[in-house]
Structure 1
Amino acid sequence: MSDPVIEAHDLGIQFNKGRRKQRKLREMFIFRGKNRRTPAATTDFWALRHLDFSIQHGEAVGLIGSNGTGKSTLLRLIAGVLTPDEGSVVCRGKVAPLLELSAGFSGDLTGRENVQIVAAMHGLSSQQIRSKFDEIVDYAEIGDFIDTPVRHYSSGMKVRLGFAVITQLEHPVLLVDEALAVGDRKFREKCYATIEGMLAQGRTLVLVSHSDADLRRFCKRGIYLRGGQLITDGPVEDALDTYHDFAKV
C-alpha cells in the first residue's frame, strides 16, 4: 500500500487567548485583516493535542464536532498555513483549500485582478490563468462585474468567485471548511456537483461541516473531535452518533 496522502502523529498546537500565534507568511496573506485586535489577558491552551490518524488516497473524511473543537485549525495544519507545536502532520500532495473562499481578495482590485492574484498564489501559471479565466467567470455567474472593484461585490458574489477559482485547481487534496453552506440553493447544488465530480476523479477530501446531510453525502469516514482530542475515527455514521450522544449530555 502506498503512503497515506495525509498523516498525523501526536499532532498538537497551542494557542494563547489574548496573543495571536505567529503565523506563516502564506496565512497572513490568505487571512489578512482577521483578528487584528489583541485582548489584554493571556491564557495558554491546546487547540489540538495527541492526534494520530492517516488518510489514504481517494478517501472522503468528515471532521465532526461543535464550534471551537479544532476542526478548522486542523485543516489549516494540513494545508501548511499553521505549524504544529508538537508532533507532525504531512500532506503528500498539493492542496486545494476551500476554507475562507473570499480570503485573499483585495477590495480595491477588480474581480479580474483578484482572480489573477489568487490563482497565481495557488500555483497556476499565467498561461493557465488565461486559459481558465472565462470558465472561472462563467462559473461564478458575476457577468460584467468582473471588472468592478471587489469592495462593491455582495458576500455571495465574493464566495462564488472564490469557489470558481479553487475549482480550477487540479490539486489532489481538497480541504473544505463550511464552504458548501454558503450561497443560494442553486449555487450550492452546483458546488455539490463540482465536489462530486472531483471525488469521482479520485481526489482526497477532508470536509468540515455542521450538516449531517452533507457529511453523509460526501464522506464514508468521520473523525469526531471534542475539546481538541480525537474521540472517534470510523464510519461517518458512528462518528455522527457519538457526536450527537455527547451533545445530549
Structure 2
Amino acid sequence: MTNRIVLDKVNLHYASVAFKERSLKTMLASTVKRPGARVKVDDIHALKDVSLSILPGERVGLLGHNGAGKSTFLKMVAGLYPISSGEKVVEGTVRSLFDISLGFEPEATGRENILYRGLLLGLTPKFMRAMEAEIVEFADIGEFIDYPIKTYSAGMQVRLAFAISTAVGGDILLLDEVIGAGDANFMLKARKRIRELVEKAEILLLASHDFPSLRSICSRGLVFHHGQLIYDGDIGEAVDHYNRVNNL
C-alpha cells in the first residue's frame, strides 16, 4: 500500500455554537436569560472544496492566518473531524502532535496513563509495556511517574504527553506549531526527537507561523484563507503569497 493523502472537493462544516459558547453550562444559561428565545446555530464552513494529492517523500508546510483552516485541515487528515462532502483517502499510519495531553486520566498515575494514552494511539498494551522504561526516562519527571496526573504541573503533563506521543513514529506525521515542552534541556531533547520523526516519516504536514523553519524543512506550501486552499506550490512562493494576501 502506498502512503498518500488524496482529497477531492472536501468540505467540512461544524456548528458555530462550538465557537460562541465556551461550555454547555454557558449555552444553557443564555437560553434561560431569554425565555422563549430560540438558539440559532449556523454552520461554520471550515474547509471549502479542498482538492490535492500528497505522495511519499513530500514535506508540506501549511500557512494561513489564525482561523484560516490549517489546524482544521490537520485534524481532518488525522480523522478527528469528519468531512461533510467530497472524497478523502488517507493511506498509511498517521501520527499527530497536537492536543498531546488529550486522554490523560487525572486520578491515574503517570505510569498508568502511559498505557491509556498508548491505547488511544492505537498501540497494544504489550507494546506500551515494552516502551514504558524509555518513555519514563525521556519524560524525566522522577518519582512523579507513580503519582496521579492531577498532582502534576502543566509542564510535567506536557513532558509526559510528549514522551508518549513521540515514542513511535508514523508514515504520515502531522505537526501543529512548535511544542513547548519544559525547560531548555528538555526542549533540546524534544527538538531532536521531532527531527528524528520527521526524517523517518514518508509524508510530513507542518502548520506553523515560523517561516524560516518552514523554508528549511518543507519544499511545498499550502496557503489557506478563510477555509479555502488559495495556493499550492513551492514553499518560498507560498510564503510570499501568504504575505501578499495578508498585506505583510
Residue type matched to 2:153 in 1? S
Gaps of 5+ in 2: 28-38
Say if 1:247 and 1:191 are closer, same or farther in 2 by CA, change over 3 A.
same
Quote the offset at 1:4 in angstroms.
5.7
Q: Give TM-score, length-normalised by structure 2.
A: 0.86
CA distance in 1, matches of 2:170, 2:199: 14
Q: Secondary structure at the match of 1:135?
A: helix
Q: Number of paired residues?
A: 235
Say if 1:67 and 1:184 are closer, same or farther in 2 by CA, change over 3 A.
farther
CA distance in 2, matches of 1:214, 1:146: 33
Contact 2:231–2:241 (Cα < 8 Å) also in 1: yes
**Cα deviation code 1:116-170 (max 9, x no counterpart):** 1011221222221111111111111212111111122122211111111121224
CA distance in 2, matches of 1:181, 1:233: 29
Instruction: Give the match for residue 246 of structure 1.
Output: 245
Quote the offset at 1:191 in angstroms.
2.4
Q: Which sits farther off after the overlay, 177-186 or 73-82?
A: 177-186
Contact 1:61–1:221 (Cα < 8 Å) also in 2: yes
1:45 aligns with 2:44: yes
Instruction: Give the match for residue 110 of structure 2.
Output: 111
CA distance in 2, matches of 1:194, 1:107: 26
Residue type matched to 2:113 in 1? N
Quote the offset at 1:70 in angstroms.
1.1
Give RMSD over aligned pairs: 2.1
Say if 1:141 and 1:167 are closer, same or farther in 2 by CA, change over 3 A.
same
Instruction: Give the match for residue 18 of structure 1.
Output: 17
Q: How does 1:51-70 map to 2 (within 5 A)?
A: 51-70=50-69
CA distance in 1, matches of 2:62, 2:49: 16
CA distance in 1, matches of 2:144, 2:200: 32
Q: How does 1:153-164 map to 2 (within 5 A)?
A: 153-164=152-163
Instruction: Give the match for residue 198 of structure 1.
Output: 197
Instruction: Give the match for residue 220 of structure 1.
Output: 219
Q: Which sits farther off after the overlay, 224-233 or 37-46?
A: 37-46
Q: Give TM-score, length-normalised by structure 1.
A: 0.86
Instruction: Give the match for residue 31 of structure 2.
Output: none
Contact 1:224–1:230 (Cα < 8 Å) also in 2: yes
CA distance in 2, matches of 1:213, 1:187: 22
Q: Secondary structure at the match of 2:107?
A: coil
Q: Secondary structure at the match of 2:60?
A: strand
Say if 1:202 and 1:78 are closer, same or farther in 2 by CA, change over 3 A.
closer
Q: How does 1:229-240 map to 2 (within 5 A)?
A: 229-240=228-239
Residue type matched to 2:120 in 1? M
Quote the offset at 1:214 in angstroms.
2.7
Instruction: Give the match for residue 145 of structure 1.
Output: 144
Residue type matched to 1:94 in 2? T
Gaps of 5+ in 1: 21-33
